Structure 1
Amino acid sequence: MASQRGNLTLVETYLTHGDERLRGWPFMDSPVPVLTVFVLYLMMVKQGPKMMEQRKPFQVQGPMVLYNLAVMVLSIYITFEKLISAVQSSYSLKCQPVDYSDDPRAIRMLNASYWYFISKIIELLDTFFFIVRKKERQITFLHVYHHAIMLLHTWWFVKFVPGGQTFVLGFLNSFVHIWMYAYYGLAAIGPHMQKYLWWKKYLTKLQLFQFVLTSSHALYNVCFGDCGFPRLFSLSSVIQSAIFFSLFMNFYLQAYKKSKTS
């Protein structure tokens, strides 16, 4: 059964409603829960600032520090689990099919992939903290698009291809988020920490490098992959990585290049 499951075509995978091992897991039986979260998130983005117009900013320094620390620890866990699972399973960086079996190594990758999706729900709190602190200027198109699309994109990947070729995307993104939320956590402690946060622009460079790696890795599978991993998912990774690269590059140029000339 496991070997037959691994050889299903993309259409057959859809007809069987995704990875059967995820049956009964929160958010995974139907797209309705994640779409509900998606809609509620957009409503928060739209209505949240309006609700705060006549209110003073909330003081949430303590919760923010704890939140960023928690997301950083979760990112460390996901990064470690994905790496160990891939190494133990002798993953190929060129092309790697998804192992849909109940092998402990495959289940370990499945768990790491699922928690990667859960982290995308948790990270929506980034926007909530901006709203309650009345930092609306930081709720940019890049910010909202990144959080909203990653929520849906990650659910789609975990639902149908939790592992395999997608390992690189989740691994790199979680690794970057270790440093990103470490930065946010330190910044949340207070202004006196700014002298230790000189590496902010290098964090953006790391994000840009991540998109180059993920798009290149996925593009290779689109063009040359022969392991049976569905090219549609790799093509989606290429497109999203390219979009993110352009958006983050624009942010980098706006934030750092213009500041040098002003």
Structure 2
Amino acid sequence: MTSAYCHRTSCSLVKILCDCTAFLVWRVQDPKLLSWDTAITMEGIVTMYQDFMKKADPRIADYPLMQSPFLVMGILLGYVYFVLSLGPRLMANRKPLNLKKFMVLYNFFLVGLSLYIVYEFLMAGWLTGYTWRCDPVDFSQDPKALRMVSVAWLFVFSKFIELTDTVIFVLRKKNEQVTFLHLFHHSVLPWSWWWGAKFGPGGMGSFHAMINSMVHVVMYFYYGLSAAGPAFQKYLWWKKHITAIQLAQFVIVSVHISQYYFMPNCQYQFPIFIHLIWIYGTIFFILFSNFWYQSYTKGKRLPRVAQQAAQHNGSSIHENGTVTNGKVKAN
């Protein structure tokens, strides 16, 4: 009946699917043949993977986490499982942990690390020879090229350190802060940048990593002050401007990477990275724009200074961000 339907239809896609289905049914009828074909297929997949990984940059092969993508995949899957399932269940009958001192040290450590990463990106190429237009990856043993490899790896490693952000949310039972945007951002970026550093550490594809590190200097400085206690709350009026800086980041990165499409002859070796960076920039701009609208236009995530001002005006703001007895506008 399947074969008859395939001959009647004029849709080539349907015919292909039908033929594939008939082929699989035929294979299943002979278990020995299926087992042999499966072994050949798996062997072919392994061979293809090994051949593909031979094209990776050998200069970064001995850096931690860079030997195999499966270790990285395991870490990220474990991270997602912990923050969505295991962590909340472990904390269900426990009091939130008091991590204030740790959070201050952690956030200011990331400020220093992000500053160092920005400096290294600048010294490895962006202020010492890059044109800020079509900049290919330098695969030589030149000291600047090796310096770029090191900072590309350090950026990747910093993304795994930043997974601690979400772990802190869970341990403090702030599960409402584990949003889709937060989880998507923290899980996708380490994975995609691992491949970028593995195959093309440097060149025009590294621009967005440098800009991202600049933004993180500001972001983690704010978080550090926020964790430092009530004495610093009066300095936190600029919370929504962090989101504005993040939005500007995606615009700058997308404009820079879009140059590739208008250059008659750009020898950057990995066009796929260009496409992914542009797609990421667009997706994250949309997601962060929605975050801005929900948080500040609708007033769901006002800075604490604004919340206190609202309370003095007779409004009451609950911990989950809802407002009663009046409306509060973002600063």
**Residue in 2 that maps onto 1:112:** 151
Provide TM-score, normalisation by structure 1: 0.91
* Within-5 A mapping of 1:117-128: 117-128=156-167
2:297 maps to a residue whose letter is K
Say whether 1:42 aligns with 2:80: yes
Change (3 A) 1:223 1:232: farther
* Within-5 A mapping of 1:75-86: 75-86=114-125
Q: Please say if residues 114 and 158 of structure 1, whose CA atoms lie closer than 8 Å, have aligned partners that are also in contact.
A: yes
Q: Deviations over 1:96-155 (max 9, x none)?
A: 100011100011111111100000000000001000100011000000000000110110
State the distance in 1 between where 2:229 and 2:212 align: 26
State the distance in 1 between where 2:68 and 2:128 align: 29
Shift of 1:192: 3.0
1:165 maps to a residue whose letter is M
Say whether 1:257 aligns with 2:297: yes
Q: Please say if residues 96 and 229 of structure 1, whose CA atoms lie closer than 8 Å, have aligned partners that are also in contact.
A: no
**Residue in 2 that maps onto 1:58:** 97
**Residue in 2 that maps onto 1:130:** 169
Q: Please say if residues 222 and 234 of structure 1, whose CA atoms lie closer than 8 Å, have aligned partners that are also in contact.
A: no
Q: Deviations over 1:225-255 (max 9, x none)?
A: 6123321100000001111111111001111
Picking from 214, 227, 236, the partner of 2:267 is 227
2:107 maps to a residue whose letter is N
Q: Select the structure with the greater relative contact order (CA < 8 A; seq sep ≥ 6).
A: 1
Say whether 1:245 aligns with 2:285: yes
1:21 maps to a residue whose letter is R
Q: Please say if residues 27 and 34 of structure 1, whose CA atoms lie closer than 8 Å, have aligned partners that are also in contact.
A: yes
**Residue in 1 that maps onto 2:204:** 165
State the distance in 1 between where 2:269 and 2:241 align: 34
1:39 maps to a residue whose letter is L
Q: Please say if residues 79 and 171 of structure 1, whose CA atoms lie closer than 8 Å, have aligned partners that are also in contact.
A: yes
**Residue in 2 that maps onto 1:25:** 63
State the distance in 1 between where 2:127 and 2:158 align: 24
1:150 maps to a residue whose letter is L
State the distance in 2 between where 1:223 and 1:109 align: 26
1:69 maps to a residue whose letter is F
Picking from 222, 229, 251, the partner of 1:190 is 229
Q: Please say if residues 69 and 182 of structure 1, whose CA atoms lie closer than 8 Å, have aligned partners that are also in contact.
A: yes
Q: Deviations over 1:158-191 (max 9, x none)?
A: 1111110122111100000001000011101113
Q: Please say if residues 63 and 153 of structure 2, whose CA atoms lie closer than 8 Å, have aligned partners that are also in contact.
A: no
Shift of 1:15: 5.0
State the distance in 2 between where 1:109 and 1:221 align: 21
Provide TM-score, normalisation by structure 2: 0.73
State the distance in 1 between where 2:52 and 2:230 align: 50
Shift of 1:89: 4.0
Q: How many residues align?
A: 252
Picking from 121, 133, 139, the partner of 1:94 is 133
Change (3 A) 1:167 1:65: same
2:277 maps to a residue whose letter is S
Q: Deviations over 1:5-30 (max 9, x none)?
A: xxxxxxxx945241110122111121
Q: Which moved more, 1:178-187 or 1:212-221?
A: 212-221
In the alignment, structure 2 segments of 5+ residues that lack a partner are 1-50, 300-327
Q: Please say if residues 222 and 231 of structure 1, whose CA atoms lie closer than 8 Å, have aligned partners that are also in contact.
A: no
2:102 maps to a residue whose letter is P
State the distance in 1 between where 2:87 and 2:291 align: 24
Q: Please say if residues 122 and 128 of structure 2, whose CA atoms lie closer than 8 Å, have aligned partners that are also in contact.
A: no
1:28 maps to a residue whose letter is M
Identity of aligned residues (%): 41
Shift of 1:87: 4.2
State the distance in 2 between where 1:147 and 1:15 align: 25
In the alignment, structure 1 segments of 5+ residues that lack a partner are 1-12
State the distance in 2 between where 1:88 and 1:42 align: 37
State the distance in 2 between where 1:87 and 1:150 align: 21
Q: Deviations over 1:31-58 (max 9, x none)?
A: 0111111111111112211211100000
Say whether 1:180 aligns with 2:219: yes
